[in-house]
């Protein structure tokens, strides 16, 4: 396989994982970025996947000092946990980028 075909296969595997395991919805194609929503631990988490299979969540951004509510802190913790879980799962379903 070429590197391009491996990247395409990895991206498809990552999207399938997000849809089938994490029930991702509202997936939008913005070219290189695919924003989506995932309901996790009682919160709707705003996430994004790149074509290079980099997954992240805006809601996982570390909270600075401030008067954060318990709910805001819990949502950030849930988003961070989701980010970690998804990134581990993506590594499991991805192939190394080595042309054959």
Edge-to-edge strand order for the sheet containing 55-57? 33-40, 43-50, 55-57
* pTM exceeds cut of 0.85: yes
Whether residue 98 lies inside any domain: the answer is: no
Residue located via tokens 């498809």:
12
Whether residue 99 lies inside any domain: the answer is: no
Whether residue 20 lies inside any domain: the answer is: yes
Whether residue 82 lies inside any domain: the answer is: yes
Whether residue 100 lies inside any domain: the answer is: no
Smallest CA-to-CA distance from 86 within 13, 4, 7, 26 is with 13
Structurally, how many domains does the chain consist of? Answer: 1
Whether residue 69 lies inside any domain: the answer is: yes
pLDDT tier at 91 (50, 70, 90 boundaries)?
very high
User: Which residue range forms the structural domain that includes residue 66?
Assistant: 3-93
Contacts of 82 (CB under 8 A, 6+ apart): 22, 38, 40, 41, 45, 47, 57, 60
Q: Which tokens hold the place of 85?
A: 């879980």
Whether residue 58 lies inside any domain: the answer is: yes
* pLDDT tens, position by position, 50-83: 999 999 999 999 888 888 999 999 999 999 999 9
Whether residue 56 lies inside any domain: the answer is: yes
């Amino acid at each position: 396989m070429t590197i391009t075909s491996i990247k395409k296969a990895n991206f498809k595997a990552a999207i399938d994982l997000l849809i089938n395991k994490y029930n991702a919805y509202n997936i939008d194609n913005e070219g290189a970025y695919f924003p989506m929503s995932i309901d996790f631990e009682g919160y709707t988490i705003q996430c994004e996947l790149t074509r290079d299979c980099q997954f992240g969540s805006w809601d996982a951004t570390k909270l600075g000092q401030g008067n954060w509510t318990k709910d805001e802190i819990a949502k950030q913790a849930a988003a961070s946990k989701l980010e970690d879980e998804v990134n581990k799962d993506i590594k499991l379903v991805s192939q190394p980028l080595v042309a054959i």
